[in-house]
Structure 1
Amino acid sequence: MSDTIHLWMRHEARATERRAPLTPEDAGRLVAEGIRITVEESDQRVFPLADYAAAGCATAPTASWHEQAPDDAYVLGLKELPAGPDAPALRHRHIYFGHAYKGQSGARELLARFTAGGGALLDMEYLTDGAGRRVAAFGYWAGYVGAALAVLHHRGALTTPLRPTDRPALDALLASGATPGDPTTALVIGALGRSGRGACDALTTAGLDPTRWDLAETHDLDRAALLGHDLMVNTVLTTTPVPPFLTKADLDDPRRRLSLVSDVTCDVTSDCNVLPVYDETTTWTEPVRALRAGPERPLDLIAIDNLPSLLPVEAATAFSAELAPQLLRLAAPADDVWERALHTYRTAVRAQEDPLVR
Structure 2
Amino acid sequence: MPFPTLLGLLREGRTPPDRRVALTPKKCVELQDTYPGLRVRVQPSPHRAFADQEYRDLGIEVSEDMAGCEVLLGVKEVPVSELIANKAYLFFSHTIKKQPRNRELLQAVLNKHITLIDYELLTNAAGERVVAFGHWAGIVGAYNGLLTYGRKHGLYQLKPAWQCVDMEDMQEEFFKVKHLPPIKIAVTGTGRVGRGAVEVLGRMGIRRVSVYDYLYLNFSEPVYTQLGSSDYNRRRDGRVWDTANFHHEPAAYESAFAKFIPVTDLLIACAYWHPAAPRLFSESDTRQPDFKLNTIADVTCDVNGSIPLTKRSSTIEEPAFDCNPSTGALEPPYSRAENITLMAVDNLPCELPRNASRDFSRQLLDQALPPLMNGDPAGVLARATIAAAGQLCPRFAYLRDYVA
Q: TM-score, normalised by structure 2?
A: 0.75
1:219 counterpart = 2:233: yes
CA shift in 2, pair 1:343/1:285, >3 Å: closer
Q: Do the aligned residues in 2 keep the contact of 1:21 with 1:316 (CA within 8 Å)?
A: yes
Partner Cα distance (1:58, 1:98) in 2: 26
Q: CA deviation at 1:132?
A: 1.5
Question: Which residue number in structure 2 is paired with residue 171 of structure 1?
Answer: 171
2:72 is paired with a residue whose SS is strand
CA shift in 2, pair 1:132/1:9, >3 Å: same
**Which is greater in Rg?**
2
Q: Do the aligned residues in 1 keep the contact of 2:72 with 2:87 (CA within 8 Å)?
A: yes
Q: CA deviation at 1:339?
A: 1.0
- The residue correspondences of 1:1-358 to structure 2 (distance < 5 A) are 3-13=3-13, 14-15=15-16, 17-32=18-33, 33=35, 34-61=37-64, 68-70=66-68, 73-82=70-79, 91-156=86-151, 157-158=157-158, 162-179=162-179, 182-190=181-189, 192-208=190-206, 209-220=223-234, 221-228=255-262, 229-238=264-273, 241-268=276-303, 273-292=305-324, 293=331, 295-325=336-366, 326-335=368-377, 336-342=379-385, 346-347=393-394, 349-354=396-401
CA shift in 2, pair 1:175/1:278, >3 Å: same
Partner Cα distance (1:121, 1:276) in 2: 34
Partner Cα distance (1:340, 1:239) in 2: 22
Range 320-329 or range 274-283, more displaced: 274-283
1:106 is paired with a residue whose SS is helix
Give aligned pairs, total.
Answer: 342
Q: CA deviation at 1:301?
A: 1.8
CA shift in 2, pair 1:242/1:6, >3 Å: farther
Q: Do the aligned residues in 1 keep the contact of 2:145 with 2:296 (CA within 8 Å)?
A: yes
Partner Cα distance (1:218, 1:353) in 2: 37
Range 278-287 or range 2-11, more displaced: 2-11
**Match for 2:11: what amino acid?**
H
**Match for 2:193: what amino acid?**
S
Residues 181-222 of structure 1 deviation map (CA, whole Å, 9 limit, x = unaligned): x222211110x2121111012123334332211132243242
Q: CA deviation at 1:174?
A: 2.1
Partner Cα distance (1:171, 1:225) in 2: 33
Q: Do the aligned residues in 2 keep the contact of 1:152 with 1:174 (CA within 8 Å)?
A: no
Partner Cα distance (1:218, 1:110) in 2: 38
Partner Cα distance (2:396, 2:291) in 1: 42
Q: Do the aligned residues in 2 keep the contact of 1:5 with 1:330 (CA within 8 Å)?
A: no
**Match for 1:339: what amino acid?**
A
**Match for 2:95: what amino acid?**
A
- In structure 2, stretches of 5+ residues that fail to align are 152-156, 207-222, 235-254, 325-330
Residues 276-322 of structure 1 deviation map (CA, whole Å, 9 limit, x = unaligned): 54343211221112233563521122122222222222222122111
1:224 is paired with a residue whose SS is helix
Q: CA deviation at 1:88?
A: 6.3
Root-mean-square deviation (CA, aligned residues, Å) is 2.9
User: Structure 1 segments of 4 or more deviating over 6 A?
Assistant: 86-90
1:317 is paired with a residue whose SS is helix
Q: Do the aligned residues in 1 keep the contact of 2:4 with 2:70 (CA within 8 Å)?
A: no
**Identity within the alignment, %:** 29
Residues 61-88 of structure 1 deviation map (CA, whole Å, 9 limit, x = unaligned): 3xx6xxx424x622211123336xx786
Q: CA deviation at 1:54?
A: 4.2
Q: CA deviation at 1:263?
A: 2.0
Partner Cα distance (1:148, 1:298) in 2: 21
**Match for 1:141: what amino acid?**
W
CA shift in 2, pair 1:302/1:69, >3 Å: farther
Partner Cα distance (1:5, 1:274) in 2: 45
Q: CA deviation at 1:140?
A: 1.7
**Match for 1:200: what amino acid?**
V
1:155 is paired with a residue whose SS is helix
Partner Cα distance (2:91, 2:294) in 1: 34
Q: TM-score, normalised by structure 1?
A: 0.84
Question: Which residue number in structure 1 is paired with residue 251 of structure 2?
Answer: none
- In structure 1, stretches of 5+ residues that fail to align are none
**Match for 1:109: what amino acid?**
E
Range 105-114 or range 193-202, more displaced: 105-114
Q: Do the aligned residues in 1 keep the contact of 2:67 with 2:84 (CA within 8 Å)?
A: no
Q: Do the aligned residues in 1 keep the contact of 2:166 with 2:355 (CA within 8 Å)?
A: yes
